[in-house]
Amino acid sequence: MPEMILAANWKMHHTLDKARGFVRELLQQLAELRKPGEPSVVIFPAFPHLAAVAEEAEGTRIQIGAQDCYIREEGAFTGEVSPTQIADTGASCVLVGHSERRHILGDSDELVAQKLTAAIAHGLRAFLCVGETEDERASESSRSVVEAQLESALTASDEITAGNLVIAYEPVWAIGTGRHATVADAEEMTAVIRAKLIQRLGAQSGQEIPILYGGSVKPGLLAGYLASGLIQGALVGGASLKASSFASLYGEMKTAAQGAGSGQ
Ligand code: PGA
């Protein structure tokens, strides 16, 4: 059974004070995050807050990740941040290919593949985001779009294992819109992703890589996505900004993780 993961993508939100305060409040509400266990929790703050959030989370189960990374280790690349610099802050994960990077900031499939390769080569766990736009869904090409995004990223690195990759299926039309995918649609795309992972990486890694759903996930919705066990967690934007709402989502994840652990 793949690891279950609840991840918070804070995007360009929070001040430093708020970012630190979130972690303190979350640890007050969920004291169990001070001990090992499932589900895993990962927070993706903005670059300038990585080290401070990592410091607040030290010694707890909360892992920290960056929202993007550059493809080189160092050099004259003004404004970019390397995987080594990210790891240096205490972060252990990185988002690659988030739809806002692909569609607003112009990251191509090729660049996403290079970022994934660089992240993994430097010991970070890559959270690769894939998903179709509304037009692509309307023209029934969701499957081919997501397969192509995966194909290009998965063939770029030969160091991928179940421990250093997570896939987040995030339909672009569902991100930040309040229009989440139906459980059936999310499960259908998850099956496409799982088949591609197995085809490219073999049965062992392919079965163990967690697949998350993302796109307008809110408290009360998550349990539905997790019920069948096909989806192993969520990447949450808007509903991850308040500790109370993130703690509710964690509660839904935990119930699902316990159900999975008892073979239900
Ligand atoms: P949302 O964002 O939960 O606000 O839709 C999800 C994401 O962008 O990862």
Average the pLDDT over 233-247 and give the result.
Answer: 98
> Total structural domains in the chain?
1
What's the pLDDT score for residue 225? 97
Has 98 been annotated as catalytic? yes
E-strand spans in 146-214? 165-169, 211-214
What is the chain's length?
264
Distances 16 to 50, 63, 79 between C-alpha atoms, Å? 9, 17, 19
What pLDDT, in 10s, does the model give residues 153-194? 998 888 999 999 999 999 999 999 999 999 999 999 999 999
For 244-247, the CB contacts below 8 A with 24+ separation are 244/25, 244/29, 245/218, 245/219, 246/6, 246/8, 246/22, 246/26, 247/26, 247/29, 247/30
- Of the pLDDT bands very low, low, confident and very high (cuts 50, 70, 90), residue 257 is confident
Q: Which atom of ligand 1 is nearest to 11's Cα? A: 8
Question: Which residues neighbour 79 within 8 Å (Cβ) at sequence distance 6 or greater?
Answer: none
Query: Whole domain around residue 135: which residue ranges?
Result: 5-262
Q: Please state, in angstroms and rounded to a whole number, the distance separating the CA atoms of residues 205 and 226.
A: 21
Has 74 been annotated as catalytic? no
How many CB atoms neighbour CB 179 within 10 A? 12
What pLDDT, in 10s, does the model give residues 115-150? 999 999 999 999 999 999 999 999 999 999 999 999
Instruction: Evaluate if residue 36 carries a pLDDT over 60.
Output: yes
Q: Please state, in angstroms and rounded to a whole number, the distance separating the CA atoms of residues 194 and 189.
A: 9
Distance 236 CA to ligand 1 centre (A): 5
The residue type of 77 is F
CATH code (residue 79): 3.20.20.70
What pLDDT, in 10s, does the model give residues 195-223? 999 999 999 999 999 999 999 999 999 99
Ligand 1, atom 2, residue with closest C-alpha: 237
